[in-house]
Amino acid sequence: MDRAHLPTEFVEEVERISYDSAEVKVNLALDGLPNFTIYPGMEPGSQHRGTIHISPTLEYIEETFRDAALGMPSRKLMLECTILAMMAPTVASEGSTR
């Protein structure tokens, strides 16, 4: 879309977004949905929507955020996972378990 068709304030706000990041994106194809111990079930459900954070503790996640807020790479690693096919079914191959 040509920026001339957008409100000036919107264009300015979008241009101020910082896309600087120290992250890696990995796409995986699974043969089914995960069956979480804390919230079991392999049929599509609320446990498969949103984001899944994998880290030892909530404090650990806070520490990774503090580093980022200070403008430096985190000294700790964590995983933030999304089951994209739950929100965008067209990304899953036809006939696959969504």
- C-alpha triplet 27, 28, 34: angle, nearest 5°: 125
Contact 73, 64 (CB under 8 A): no
- Identify whether 42 is part of a domain: yes
pLDDT of residue 25: 80
Q: Is residue 13 part of a domain?
A: no
The pLDDT assigned to 37 comes to 92
Q: Is residue 66 part of a domain?
A: yes
* pLDDT in 10s for each residue of the chain, 98 residues: 888 999 999 999 999 887 766 677 888 888 888 999 999 998 989 999 888 888 999 999 898 888 888 888 888 888 888 888 887 877 776 655 54
The answer to whether residue 2 is domain-embedded is no
State the total domains in the chain: 1
Q: Is 61 part of a structural domain of the chain? A: yes
Residue 73: domain span: 22-91
In a domain, 11, yes or no: no
Chain CA centroid to CA 14, Å:
20
- Within a domain: residue 64? yes
- pLDDT at position 21, please? 65
pLDDT of residue 85: 82
Token duo for residue 21: 């990041």
For residue 32, tell me if it sits in a domain.
yes
CA distance 84 to 79: 15
